[in-house]
Amino acid sequence: MEHDPLLLIFIVFLAGVIGGELSQRLRLPEVVGQVVAGVFLGPTYLGLIKVNETLEVLSEVGAMLLLFLVGLETSIESLRRLGRMPLVVGSIGVAIPFIAGFWWAWSLLALSLPASLFVGAAFVATSAGITAKVLRDIGAIDRDESKVILGAAIVDDVLGMLVLGVVAALQTGGEISVGPLLGGLALSVLFIIVSLWVGAFALRKNPRLLDFPLDPLSPLTVSLLLCLGLSVASAHVGLAAIIGAFIAGVIVAEYPAHKTIVSQVESVGAFLIPFFFVVTGAMVSLGNIGGGKQGFLLVIACILAVISKFVAGFFGARRLGNRSAVIVGVGMVPRGEVGILIATIGRTQNVFGEEVFGILIAMSLVTSLIVPPLLRPLFGGNVLKPSRD
Amino acid sequence: MEHDPLLLIFIVFLAGVIGGELSQRLRLPEVVGQVVAGVFLGPTYLGLIKVNETLEVLSEVGAMLLLFLVGLETSIESLRRLGRMPLVVGSIGVAIPFIAGFWWAWSLLALSLPASLFVGAAFVATSAGITAKVLRDIGAIDRDESKVILGAAIVDDVLGMLVLGVVAALQTGGEISVGPLLGGLALSVLFIIVSLWVGAFALRKNPRLLDFPLDPLSPLTVSLLLCLGLSVASAHVGLAAIIGAFIAGVIVAEYPAHKTIVSQVESVGAFLIPFFFVVTGAMVSLGNIGGGKQGFLLVIACILAVISKFVAGFFGARRLGNRSAVIVGVGMVPRGEVGILIATIGRTQNVFGEEVFGILIAMSLVTSLIVPPLLRPLFGGNVLKPSRD
């Protein structure tokens, strides 16, 4: 099709609105319809969307706004109350899926040791975005389970970065330099802790930091600036950009009038967040799945991916009670755009072929689509319905 | 510098916030500081921003949101009350600057006849965005002068498209096919009238068109969809995308709860509109101005560009009284991104060299920067101060 960036944006946004609407009419969360709409528009079916840099950026900014919103509804106190639970859930949630993915690739696909380790890393990914959007939509974002899921997703990303660093180095047969890896780990942990505490402390001491500019919309613009700035910084220390956006949200949550900012960012997000889900769907390329053996391998991969994350979340969060532990377990399952990204890196670097790539992509998609419909029933009647306010 | 799209976006947004703040502290309109910040970051000085497709898209979407907002504050009745005045102002505002620009290129620069005609077309451009933003900021968007300026800017764009079509055809010595040109003209006029009337009629008959979706933010998302859709359609009939966005705004203004949509779109705009002004500034490349003769030519070009548009606006709007006619005359002066665009087309197609290109760009910049500070004093005490609400 003709290259017209505005038309492309219109198509993606239209797909987001229609997909979201249809899935809500089917009593499914919006994200399901948006991701599916993206898959349909993407290379597998209609081929209407080719994900270029502009769409990638809009998608990433959408994800940032989403996690910024989630952060805005998360107080530091509520995170502190959970203690080490997110750390435990996140750590087990890296270890078990890694072993499961490695076993799948090593014993079922008979891949080489380095390639199998790389596949393990693809199983580790957690997409905070998918779960976070559903938790917001059903009004459950301030529940303890939600905080554990989000905190664990951050731990997951930090450790996942380390795992990916190690397995990527193994591919070229190069030595693993422990120094830089541990340095990167220390830097990222330091970044999270320092930016969070310094930012929250500064804003608590002087809330005028957000509204000193003359522009009447300034608390919003300065907040968005902080969100963009910490996202960029987060990406530069090797973490996902959305972690910086989440931290920015937690900081701005200390601002007395942060409720106004929430509703303003919701408006910005109403425009940009759908790009994240539709583009995530459009990154999926399912061309190579179809045969019986591949279908079998895919089913096993999905089962392993689901069970390994579920078990980690469940046992890590047992202290919250059985039902809550189930919610945490389920909420950790989606691999989303992170799984797609790691699979794409592996394919690009020829770690594995089209077959494994297609299965990993499909696994990321399946895990992302099965979770959203489960969350509302799991929370039961304790959550708010989405309402016009 | 490293190619990092997120970092680029952060820099542009930071420049928009800082530039806007500094110019407001100097009692100048935000846009001045934002455009100047863009010029500084662009190729002439720091070279930090290279305008790529992603920035172009964000800039265009920002301009669309701005004109959408302006349309939201414009009722069809208020446009109708003005009668043919925008048509008159727009038509004279194309004719006189065209002759002035042609004369400048033909007699002072001794360019060829086709090239001189093309330069004339560059003088015709009107940037609705610059003036519209200032009129909104000072609370004067619902004044008759503002409607005339905006209506005339649309007429300007329609006729400017025709003029550009003719002069571009002349460059290659090709024949001018009157049929397609008049067809294009008819199509664009038809598009404006039909979309406006059908849209407004439909929404007036059935306001539920905007809020039938289940998403609680749906009046906003459906409005944004209409804004994007009409912008794309507008560009496809050969008009500026922002004209479609303006029409979408006028249509949505018929929605009973359109005030809510205004404040929501203001939030989206707080994020994206600065991209329009900073990127417009960053498109400026002033490297080739400096010599005495060039400086002289630039001064003459600016004087001609200002006077020709001012005279057209003043005489076309005389019926509103002297002061209002002055406001309309001044408001039509900025060439902004449209002037830069036409100059860039001319340079790319080798219609003229670096020297003329540099002067046209500088003229577009100068006309865009001198107008904003004049508008508030001209409106006197009758306008609102920007306030936190």
With 0-12 CB in 10 A as exposed, 13-18 as middle and 19+ as buried, what is A27? exposed
Closest by Cβ to B235, choosing from A6, A229, A241: A6
A31 is a domain residue: no
Question: Is there a contact between B293 and B275 (Cβ–Cβ < 8 Å)?
Answer: no
A-B contacts at Cβ under 8 angstroms: 144
Rounded Cα distance, B59 and A385, in Å: 37
Q: What is the pLDDT along chain B (389 residues), one digit of tens a residue?
A: 457 899 999 999 999 999 999 988 988 888 889 999 999 998 888 888 888 999 999 999 999 999 999 899 888 888 888 888 999 999 999 999 999 999 999 999 999 999 999 999 999 988 888 888 889 888 898 899 999 999 999 888 888 888 888 888 787 776 777 777 788 888 888 999 999 999 999 998 888 888 877 788 889 999 999 999 999 999 998 888 989 999 999 999 999 889 999 999 999 999 999 999 999 989 888 766 667 888 899 999 999 999 999 999 999 999 999 999 999 999 999 988 888 888 888 888 889 988 888 899 899 999 999 999 898 889 885 444 443 33
Does the CB of A321 have a partner CB in chain B at under 8 Å? Answer: no
Structure tokens at B200: 């407004």
B389 is a domain residue: no
A50 is a domain residue: no
| Closest residue by Cα to residue A167 from A101, A225, A230 | A101
| CA distance to A177, A385, B99, B380, per residue, from A136 (Å) | 41, 10, 59, 47
pLDDT per residue over A152-172, tens digit each? Answer: 998 888 888 888 888 887 877
Residue type (1 letter), B16 = G
| CA distance to A126, B90, B92, B378, per residue, from B156 (Å) | 52, 5, 9, 23
**ipTM confidence score:** 0.89
Q: Could you list the residue range(s) of the whole structural domain that residue B207 is in?
A: 5-382
Question: Is there a contact between A80 and A148 (Cβ–Cβ < 8 Å)?
Answer: no
Computed on alpha carbons and rounded to an integer, the radius of gyration of chain A in Å comes to 20
Residues of B in contact with A266 (CB under 8 A): 217
Determine if the pTM surpasses 0.95. no
Check B214 against A25: CB less than 8 A apart: yes
Q: Is the dihedral of CA B197, B203, B204, B206 positive or negative?
A: positive
Q: How many CB atoms lie within 10 A of CB B212?
A: 11
Q: How many CB atoms lie within 10 A of CB B68?
A: 31
CA angle A48, A53, A56 (to 5 degrees): 80
Residues of A in contact with B18 (CB under 8 A): none
Does the CB of A389 have a partner CB in chain B at under 8 Å? Answer: yes
Question: Is there a contact between A38 and A255 (Cβ–Cβ < 8 Å)?
Answer: no
Residues of A in contact with B222 (CB under 8 A): 17
The structural domain count of chain B equals 1
B387 is a domain residue: no
Q: What is the CATH classification number for the domain harbouring A87?
A: 1.20.1530.20
Please tell me what DSSP assigns to residue A143: S
> What would the DSSP string read from start to end of B279-341?
HHHHT---TT--SHHHHHHHHHHHHHHHHHHHHHHHHHTGGG-HHHHHHHHHHT---HHHHHH
Q: How many CB atoms lie within 10 A of CB B382?
A: 9
Q: What is the pLDDT along chain A (389 residues), one digit of tens a residue?
A: 457 899 999 999 999 999 999 988 888 888 889 999 999 998 888 888 888 999 999 999 999 999 999 899 888 888 888 888 999 999 999 999 999 999 999 999 999 998 999 999 999 988 888 888 889 888 898 899 999 999 999 888 888 888 888 888 787 776 777 777 788 888 888 999 999 999 999 998 888 888 877 788 889 999 999 999 999 999 998 888 989 999 999 999 999 889 999 999 999 999 999 999 999 989 887 766 666 888 899 999 999 999 999 999 999 999 999 999 999 999 999 988 888 888 888 888 889 988 888 899 899 999 999 999 898 889 885 444 443 33
A6 is a domain residue: no
Question: Is there a contact between A76 and A309 (Cβ–Cβ < 8 Å)?
Answer: no
pLDDT per residue over A10-58, tens digit each? Answer: 999 999 999 999 988 888 888 889 999 999 998 888 888 888 999 999 9
B304 is a domain residue: yes
Does the CB of B209 have a partner CB in chain A at under 8 Å? Answer: no
CA angle B355, B356, B358 (to 5 degrees): 65
Rounded Cα distance, A296 and A303, in Å: 11
Q: How many CB atoms lie within 10 A of CB A160?
A: 25
A14 is a domain residue: no
Instruction: Print burial letters for B332-350: b (CB count within 10 Å at least 16), e (below 16).
Output: bbbbbbbbbbbbbebbeee
- Closest Cα of chain A to B224: distance in Å? 7
Report long-range pairs for A347-351 (Cβ below 8 Å, ≥24 apart).
A349/A168, A349/A171, A351/A114, A351/A115, A351/A118, A351/A171
Rounded Cα distance, A242 and A154, in Å: 9
Rounded Cα distance, B210 and A249, in Å: 30
A260 is a domain residue: yes
Rounded Cα distance, B342 and B377, in Å: 31
Does the CB of A30 have a partner CB in chain B at under 8 Å? Answer: yes
Would you state the pLDDT for residue B287? 66
Closest chain B residue by Cα to residue A52: B54
Residues of A in contact with B21 (CB under 8 A): 213-215
Question: Is there a contact between B218 and B211 (Cβ–Cβ < 8 Å)?
Answer: yes
Closest by Cβ to A216, choosing from B220, B231, B386: B386
Closest chain B residue by Cα to residue A59: B6
| Closest residue by Cα to residue B57 from B15, B5, B21 | B5
